[in-house]
Chains A and B, each alone.
Chain A
Amino acid sequence: MAPSRVALLLALSFWTLASAAPSRARVVFVGIDGASWNVIDSMLDAGRLPGFAALLARGASAELETVEPVISPVVWTSIASGRGPDAHGIGGFLATRMALAVPTAFERLAAGGVRVGLYEYLVTWPPPALPGGFAIPGWLRRDDAVWPPDVWTRAGVSPVRVVYDAALVRDEHAVRALREVERKPAAFSALVRSFDPELAVVTIYAVDRVCHRFWRDAYPDGADADAAPPAPGSVLDRVMRGLDRAVASIAAGLAPEDVLLVASDHGFQDGEARNVWVGRTRGQLARADLEPARDNFTLIREWGAIVARVHPGPFDARDAVLTRLDAFYRSAETPDGDALYRVVTLDAVERPPDHQRSFVERLRQRVYRFVAARFFGARFEEAAHGWVIAMPKEDAMASVWPDGRILLAGATLPAREVVYREDFDGEHDPTAVFVAAGGPIRPQPVRGELSALDLAPLLFQLTGQPIPDDLEGALPETWLDPDWLSAHPPKRVTAAEAPRLPASPEVPAVQVDDGAMLERLRALGYVD
């Protein structure tokens, strides 16, 4: 054999060896919206969560103290950023990633060279361009954009995603929640296989979804969730057992040196029965000849308050749409002529002199903005021509529900075609769940305490990256094996020196060469 061929073969075999060598240990972070210790502990005692039991036997757990207000976008963003709500700027359910005032650990790690994959983490729309990784935004997304755009094709699976954009009857939530825990692990493992991220994050919403709606069915006759497991066969029991299989299957795919972190954003408890009016008006907009894409507006949500955002653009055209949306929601009445919504229109641009609002109207807008920000975390700061917010009036809604009629845009419709009443019983509890196992995590038989803000430092440490000094939590060093810790002493870096993804002021971390994404954002009026 000629020497050159030997050299080539040697080089090739080294290359093959190098590429077959195991990648850096992986950190897998499973977020379970609404997972609660009271539910888990009673099911563990009853032997109904073997997956969790196995994980706890080889790992450590904590009661996770959350941040206020205890709502998912706020808490998940605190977990992701390591910062409290005042610092991160995400206050409620209208939030997008563009409202983030600080970078998340995910973005910083990606900028520092860690391959990060995010599967349905909340407040990650528009999806950041994570080098080598992927970002599939959670249900607060405004459209189905993903990064990279061919993420599902590359993973070789069809999309599995949670949507809350339709008013679903109670049964549908139960079925979809169970489908989520059944189908998400396989989709997640396909994503992990094809992108090989060093930090892989997946969030599951099934538990929150059913705890709000099926709590009393799980704990009938006032049964105490701390004392007894959910009724066998109840929706919560089924979903928790499905979740247990999901966690077990994710854990089974990991090597011993990999780390599995499981966290929730809040727990659950028996709550006061309350109802939420969910709009079904999206399908009715055509009655007023309103069409979101053509008329440059987005119906952002219909859950509780209905919120429509008119995109920035030529004043007269956009203002006409704003006026028509306002009129559309004002036209919703009971047969007795009572308005079904309190409608507020908010201007988001300077109005020309001949289109000024009255002083009273401007004052009304100011008061509404204050109340919305103060009590609902809704800030309406995004680029927009204006907003139309329609808030259901309880008495009028109750008078037509369920079999009455509603007048809307000149038509008389069965009430159920316009609204749906969701009944909630379970309610958020501020204590969340945290479990860690594998790699340098020290098994601990006794449950500890941690803050939601401590998870970000842990993510930096576990992925070998320096911990930025603007994080509010502390690295839980006692959770880590002392030998590993002395071999990997925590490194610190100032916030200014911490790596950042390339960003433009309007669109954080959407790279300039990401043409498709910029085009999308331009169409939605977020960039010029």
Chain B
Amino acid sequence: MSGTEAVVRAEIEALHAFFVGWFAGVLPQERLETDFLSRFSSDFLLVPPAGTLLTLDELAASVRAGHATNPTFRIEIRNVTLRRRLDGRPGYL
């Protein structure tokens, strides 16, 4: 596994561990900031499969609303592979 792949894997696992703890209600509310929001740049945008755009604020609101809503929530992570790496230059859109 390459260095980048290890970093990506650790990031995916930590984020999804948060999701499980959050939606199951195991994690307290204040962990939203430390375990989730702090991972994103302030201008992060999410494009869900339905073709909508969510800003970080909107994403945060919907995750916040999901706290402790699914006590049996589980996520399994398998076969993390790095498929592509984009070497973008800042400002080049």
Contact = CB atoms under 8 A, between A and B. Distances in A.
Contact of B93 (A179, A214, A217, A218): A179
A161 B91 contact: yes
A131 B45 CA distance: 40
Interface string B59-79: 000000000000000000000
B84 A163 contact: no
B83 interface: yes
B83 A417 contact: yes
B7 interface: no
B47 A234 contact: no
B21 to A, nearest CB: 26
A416 interface: yes
A218 B52 CA distance: 8
A284 to B, nearest CB: 12
A163 B93 contact: yes
B53 A159 contact: no
Given A217-B52, A234-B52, A416-B83, A174 B47 contact: yes
Contacts of B43: 179
Interface residues of B, number: 16
A175 B92 contact: no
Contact of B92 (A161, A214, A234, A280): A161
B47 A170 contact: yes
Contacts of B50: 217
B1 interface: no
A238 B52 CA distance: 8
A414 interface: yes
Contacts of B88: 166
Contacts of B51: 174, 214, 216-218, 234-235
A36 to B, nearest CB: 17
Given A217-B52, A238-B53, A175 B83 contact: no
B92 A163 contact: yes
A474 interface: no
Interface in A131-169: 158-163, 166, 168
Interface string A170-196: 111011111110010000000000000
Contacts of A159: 91-92
Given A158-B91, A238-B53, A178 B86 contact: no
Give the interface size class of chain A: 20 to 34
B90 interface: yes
A253 interface: no
A125 to B, nearest CB: 15
Nearest to B51: A217
Nearest to B46: A171
B53 A233 contact: yes
Given A159-B91, A176-B93, A179-B93, A417 B53 contact: no
Given A217-B51, A238-B53, A414-B83, A174 B93 contact: no
Contacts of B45: 174-175, 178
Contact of A161 (B84, B86, B93): B93
Interface in A217-257: 217-218, 231, 233-235, 238
23 contacts: A158-B90, A159-B91, A161-B91, A161-B92, A162-B93, A163-B93, A168-B86, A174-B51, A175-B47, A180-B93, A183-B91, A217-B51, A218-B51, A231-B52, A233-B53, A233-B54, A235-B47, A235-B51, A238-B52, A280-B84, A414-B83, A417-B83, A417-B84
Interface of B: 43, 45, 47, 50-54, 83-84, 86, 88, 90-93
Given A161-B92, A179-B93, A183-B91, 7 more contacts: A166-B86, A168-B86, A176-B93, A234-B52, A238-B52, A238-B53, A417-B84
